[in-house]
Amino acid sequence: MKLKCVHCGKVIHRKPSRIKKLKLAFCDNVCWKNHLANHPIEQKKAILILRHKNGEMIKDLAKEIMVLPATLGYHFKKWGVKTKRSYEYGEVLKVINNISKQRSIESKKNFLTNYKNGKISWRTAHNVASDVWKITKSPCRVCGWDKAERDMHLLIPRLLEKENAVSLCPNCHRLFHRKILTKNQLKI
């Protein structure tokens, strides 16, 4: 099948099976390298490197020149420029972390209300309750084990109240759910 070289316009022959796989056709490697040298990213190389070193993120630069961030990252790697990760952007990341911490604190304060209104799933409410009430910081109520993390068990299922929650080691917790241990065996 006859095609034209994208760079020089020379007519080239390709097998039909190869045409489906190729997006651009070049007559040889020289044309291909010359085409890459005229790429818009290559033309803005110095400006992009300078802006990145001055603290701009790759994703913002990529959006501006309308390419994928991964493509721009590939070019930076090819140029030998060390790219910054998101955690290296300092002040921006601090602001984002502060906002997320404030949101999580607010949501933890109101988790029971949100759970009762159906805004939080059962599993999320259970995990938040365990964190807020710090039930799992105390040793197991059956065997006294306190070497690693413990589970929060609700004596009356699905009743999220602090008085209903007890700390159990993973083994005792499994035994409770298999009905091998009973409430009478808890140490008070």
Q: What percent of the chain has pLDDT over 90?
A: 7
18 pLDDT band (50/70/90 cuts)? low
Give 34's contacts (C-beta < 8 A, 6+ positions apart): 7
Q: In this predicted model, which residue has the larger pLDDT, 28 or 90?
A: 28
Q: Given a cut of 80, is residue 128 above it in pLDDT?
A: no
- For 144, phi then psi, to 5°, come to 80, 10
**Would you say 154 and 160 are in contact if contact means Cβ atoms under 8 Å apart?**
yes
- For residue 164, give the H/E element and its range: none
Residue tagged 């799933």 (tokens): 121
Rg (CA), the chain: 30
Neighbouring C-alpha atoms within 13 Å toward the C-beta of 144: 2
Q: Could you tell me which residues are beta bridge partners of residue 152?
A: 167
Q: Given a cut of 60, is residue 91 above it in pLDDT?
A: no
Q: Given a cut of 70, is residue 58 above it in pLDDT?
A: yes
